[in-house]
């Protein structure tokens, strides 16, 4: 081993504590990068392989009823590579041991098992046979959640006819990776399921022999999706077409894309914070090391070592730390990535989902760690190159303390001698003090920004489930009903109030921009639903025109007072031009609202109720659910409390898991910064501390000189961390918001306190480790040491 390499090994061992602290910070950056990018890569690769293997369609369309021959007309549209028609029908399932009805979406499937669009992955059993009309294939998650095995029987209400179904298999399909019931935004495998029935059997059950009500198609390479959709809509308009839409607007795919967007945002925001802190730590540690090794550097140059060789020697020190950080980060990131992938597997239904890390991801994480370490080493390498041998071998001049503003402020504040030592040393090295305080502040800012996500989630939960939704039950009808259905529900014993709810699928256009959405309306006397803005204020419905959510208004690039064209999708296919009366900031989805009179202009029919909101007596809940299940007009019943429980479970599973990771990451920054600062302070002031002991100062007083400076820097970092965390949380909230969700920025005061507490505890533990060195200070050895 060459002399410089041997010196490098001894130097790393001598400074192993500081090197490990920096490596931990770099490991946190690499782990976050590997975690987010690895999970993103795993989900993306799984999605793409699943979509390609099972022929997930590019464009989808629904209609009331169309002859099967319409498929050939759509297939002839320029740009269409393949088109298939099918039947989809909602059904109500009757489980004897449950009072509430269970909804299901039944899809037709080719009994011959030929691979078509959105083809099924068979998980157990077999496909339904043509000669057995009662056989069905269940979605695997629904079957598992309800304990339905092969051979199980299910009583179902399909298109007004009661039928007994038998389960012959379980499977998955690419168009139901994220299976949601209408009006829901979290899966509920016990209350909503997907199943497949043979084509001939479903035709007979829905009275659609030779007809379809759903269409899927794939596009040729280079085809223009918007033009294909326009032509398909023109073909399906006479058959009650509700408007074709692309894959990006498919509900299942949209939720998955939303998750991938959030993972990508995490990669762009968090690792740079760790890399910045690590760069500054390497800069400070190497700078101090070079100052203490001036004489050795001078001797090396005097013996003929080139500036480049000595500079490379110190660069190797930084890269060795980076190597340790990259290895630790890769291992930690892979472990955390597996844990996160297991959580995603609970919500997204893939036939396979394994955390597979690409070698390029690990190499990129290592490259970032090496780059940050090398960048931090540049300052030290430059100072080594400029240092002349004669100057290097001479002792460095002692620091000169002059009476300045710090001295005057200390006298005015009545500082003791020890207090003067603390503040004068901080003033002597303001850059290093700023690095220490800044690093601790960044760790606190990152932790607060993470804690704020929980505050945002609970704020959204409170606004959506308690302020906006005041009903106990939401009853979905099999088809739009008049007010007589609402009166019938109101007569059920135990129902305290019943209100209609109506929505219509529309396309809203402003110039070249257009969006598919739903317009919702409620009666002016409504008490069970409200519209809340992001500040928690109730917003009244304008008497004329539309009220748009902020997400939808931004996509259409419209403001209050602008006019938009509204086209009804399905029904009479009416077109009206309406003003945008108001824009409201909401948390969930891109939605539009209108008063009943405005809705009547759009739909031009007297069927105001597509669903009903019920406030009930909790003591009568079971009896009410049993009566609702027996009513033919009821398709499904959603309970607000059940949805609330699923939302809380999602927070417990996802957010708290991520929170644990980020508490560890933030603590790593605090430990790395405080430990390195304390070690540098100790090495610089060991002679002074030993002198104070000789002069008669007690060990506790000597310890205050060292730890007091750290405490002062931590105290200065806390308000900086609060300010930085405020802005970082706003940035992360904006980056994590999407078309489906817009998180509110609603930090609680307790989050500031928890973030500060974690950072202070990390600093205390680290400071206690260094304080042991002060208590066991060898005064004779230190005083004999050459300055």
- Could you report the per-residue pLDDT of 169-188, keeping only the tens digit for each? 999 999 999 888 877 777 88
Cα 475 to Cα 428: distance, rounded to the nearest angstrom:
72
CB contact set of 432 (below 8 Å; sequence gap of 6+)? 284, 677, 680
Give the Cα separation of 290 and 286 in Å (integer): 6
Alpha-carbon torsion angle 37, 43, 49, 55, nearest 10: -140
pLDDT tens-digit profile of 703-755?
Answer: 676 677 777 888 888 899 889 888 888 887 777 776 667 777 778 888 888 88
Average pLDDT over residues 497-507: 85
Torsion, CA 503, CA 505, CA 509, CA 513, rounded to 10: 120
187, 255 contact by CB (below 8 A): no
Identify whether the C-beta of residue 243 lies closer than 8 Å to the C-beta of residue 233. yes
Work out the average pLDDT over 35-49.
Answer: 87
DSSP state of 657: H
Q: Which helix (H) or strand (E) holds 448?
A: helix 430-461
> What pLDDT was estimated at residue 724?
87
Q: Do 696 and 781 form a contact (C-beta atoms < 8 A)? A: no
Catalogue the E-assigned strands of 468-557: 473-481, 495-510, 513-521, 531-532, 538-539, 546-549
For residue 592, give Cα distances in angstroms to 495, 507, 577: 29, 11, 14
Comparison of pLDDT for 694 and 199, the residue scoring more:
199
Percent of the chain surpassing pLDDT 70:
85
Residue 214 banded pLDDT, cuts 50, 70, 90: very high
- What pLDDT is attached to residue 414? 63
CB–CB of 344/39 below 8 Å? yes
pLDDT given for residue 782 in this prediction: 47
Cβ pair 440, 721 in contact under 8 A: yes
CB atoms within 10 A of CB 196: 24
Q: Does the pLDDT at position 684 exceed 70?
A: no
Count of alpha carbons within 13 angstroms of residue 536, beta-carbon side: 10
User: What pLDDT, on the 0 to 100 scale, is given for residue 554?
Assistant: 86
Q: How far apart are CA 289 and CA 309, in angstroms?
A: 17
Domain ranges of the chain: 1-61+252-396, 62-251, 429-468+641-787, 495-616
- Please compute the mean of the pLDDT values over residues 462-479 and round it to a whole number: 79
Distance CA 146, CA 93 (A): 12
Interatomic CA distance for residues 109 and 117, integer angstroms = 10
Distance CA 27, CA 23 (A): 6
pLDDT tens sequence across 277-325: 777 777 777 777 777 777 777 777 777 778 788 888 778 888 888 898 8
Q: Longest Cα pair distance anywhere in the chain, in angstroms?
A: 103
* Percent residues over pLDDT 90 in the chain: 14
For position 215, what pLDDT does the model report? 93
- pLDDT of residue 443 exceeding 50, the answer is yes
The predicted structure's pLDDT at residue 321: 87
| pLDDT for the residue 762 | 78
Burial class (CB in 10 A: 0-12, 13-18, 19+), 296: middle
* 403: pLDDT strictly greater than 70: no
pLDDT at 301: 75
Q: How many CA atoms lie within 13 A of 752 on its CB side?
A: 14
pLDDT at residue 787 tops 50: no
Give the tens place of pLDDT for each residue, 105-121: 999 988 665 557 999 99
Examine the pLDDT at 777 and tell me if it is beyond 60.
Answer: no
Do the beta carbons of residue 710 and residue 759 sit within 8 Å? no
Reduced to 3 states (helix: H, G, I; strand: E, B; else coil), residue 444 is: helix
Considering only residues 738 and 13, tell me which one the structure prediction assigns the higher pLDDT.
13
| CA contacts within 13 A on the Cβ side of 132 | 14
pLDDT at 195 over 90: yes
What's the mean pLDDT when you consider all of the chain?
Answer: 81
Q: What confidence tier does 567 reach under pLDDT thresholds 50, 70, 90?
A: confident
| Residue 779 or residue 222, greater confidence | 222
- Residue 349: the pLDDT is 87
For residue 778, what are the contacts with CB-CB under 8 A and spacing of at least 6? none
Comparing 428 with 493, the larger pLDDT belongs to: 493
Cβ–Cβ < 8 Å for 134, 201: yes
What distance in Å separates the CA atoms of residue 616 and residue 87, rounded to the nearest whole number? 36
- Between the CA atoms of 263, 264, 269 and 270, what dihedral angle is there, to the nearest 10 degrees? 50
């Amino acid at each position: 081993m060459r002399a410089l390499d041997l010196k490098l090994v001894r130097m790393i061992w001598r400074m192993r504590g500081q090197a490990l602290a920096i490596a931990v910070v770099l490991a946190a950056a690499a782990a976050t990068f590997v975690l987010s990018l690895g999970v993103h890569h795993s989900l993306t690769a799984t999605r793409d392989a699943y979509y390609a293997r099972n022929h997930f369609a590019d464009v989808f369309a629904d209609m009331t009823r169309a002859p099967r021959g319409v498929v050939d007309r759509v297939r002839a549209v320029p740009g269409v590579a393949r088109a298939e028609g099918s039947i989809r029908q909602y059904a109500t399932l009757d489980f004897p041991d449950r009072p509430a009805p269970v909804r299901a979406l039944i899809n037709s499937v080719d009994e011959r098992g030929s691979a078509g669009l959105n083809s099924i992955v068979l998980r157990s059993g077999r496909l339904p046979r043509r000669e057995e009309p009662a056989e069905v294939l269940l979605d695997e998650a629904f079957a598992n959640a309800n304990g339905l095995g092969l051979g199980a029987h299910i009583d179902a209400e399909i298109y007004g006819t009661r039928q007994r179904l038998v389960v012959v298999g379980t499977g998955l399909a690419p168009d139901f990776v994220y299976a949601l019931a209408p009006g829901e935004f979290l899966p509920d495998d016990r209350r909503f399921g997907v199943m497949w029935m043979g084509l001939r059997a479903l035709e007979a059950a829905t009275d659609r022999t030779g007809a379809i009500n759903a269409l899927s198609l794939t596009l040729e390479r280079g085809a223009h999706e918007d033009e294909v959709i326009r032509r398909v809509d023109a073909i399906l308009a006479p058959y009650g077409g509700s408007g074709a839409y692309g894959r990006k607007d498919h509900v299942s795919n949209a939720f998955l894309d939303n998750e991938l967007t959030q993972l990508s945002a995490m990669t762009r925001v968090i690792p740079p914070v760790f890399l910045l802190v690590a760069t500054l730590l390497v800069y400070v540690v190497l700078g101090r090391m070079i100052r203490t090794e001036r004489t050795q550097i001078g001797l090396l140059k005097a013996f003929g070592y080139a500036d480049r060789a000595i500079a490379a020697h110190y660069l190797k020190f930084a890269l060795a730390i980076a190597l340790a950080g990259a290895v630790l980060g890769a291992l930690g990131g892979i472990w955390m990535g597996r844990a996160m992938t297991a959580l995603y597997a609970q919500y997204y239904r893939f036939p396979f989902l394994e955390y597979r890390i690409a070698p390029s991801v690990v190499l990129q994480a290592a490259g970032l760690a090496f780059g940050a370490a090398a960048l931090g080493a540049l300052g030290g390498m430059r100072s080594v190159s400029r240092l002349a041998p004669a100057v290097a071998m001479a002792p460095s001049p002692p620091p000169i303390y002059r009476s300045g503003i710090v001295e005057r402020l200390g006298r005015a504040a009545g500082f003791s001698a020890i207090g003067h030592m603390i503040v004068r040393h901080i003033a002597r090295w303001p850059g290093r003090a700023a690095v220490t305080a800044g690093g601790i502040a960044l760790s606190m800012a990152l932790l607060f920004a993470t804690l704020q996500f929980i505050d945002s989630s609970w704020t959204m939960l409170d606004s959506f489930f308690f302020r906006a939704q005041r009903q106990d039950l939401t009853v979905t009808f099999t088809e739009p009903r008049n007010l007589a259905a609402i009166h019938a529900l109101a007569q059920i014993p135990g129902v305290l109030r019943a209100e209609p709810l109506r929505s219509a699928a529309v396309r809203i256009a402003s110039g070249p921009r257009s969006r598919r959405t739903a317009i919702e309306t409620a009666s002016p006397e409504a008490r069970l639903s409200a519209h809340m803005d992001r500040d928690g204020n109730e917003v009244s419905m304008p008497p004329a025109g539309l009220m748009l959510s902020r997400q939808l208004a931004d996509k259409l690039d419209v403001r209050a007072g602008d006019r938009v064209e509204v086209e009804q999708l399905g029904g009479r296919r009416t077109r009206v031009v309406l003003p945008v009366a108001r824009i409201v900031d909401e948390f969930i989805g891109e939605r539009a609202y209108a008063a009943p009179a405005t809705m009547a202009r759009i739909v031009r029919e007297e069927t105001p109720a597509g669903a009903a909101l019920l406030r009930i007596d909790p003591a009568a809940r079971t009896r009410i659910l049993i009566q609702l299940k027996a009513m033919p007009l009821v398709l499904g019943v959603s309970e607000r409390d059940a949805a609330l429980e699923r939302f809380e479970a999602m927070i417990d599973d996802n957010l708290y898991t991520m929170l644990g990771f980020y508490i560890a990451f933030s603590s790593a920054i605090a430990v790395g910064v405080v430990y390195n600062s304390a070690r540098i302070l100790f090495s610089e002031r060991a002679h002074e501390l030993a002198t104070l002991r000789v002069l008669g100062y007690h060990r506790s007083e000597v310890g205050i000189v060292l730890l007091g400076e750290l405490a002062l820097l931590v105290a200065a970092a806390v308000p900086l961390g609060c300010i930085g965390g405020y802005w970082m949380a706003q940035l992360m909230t904006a980056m994590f918001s999407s078309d489906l969700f817009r998180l509110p920025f609603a930090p609680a005061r307790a989050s500031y306190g928890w973030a500060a507490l974690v950072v202070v505890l990390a600093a205390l533990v680290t400071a206690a480790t260094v304080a042991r060195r002060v208590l066991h200070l060898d005064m004779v050895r230190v005083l004999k040491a050459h300055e």
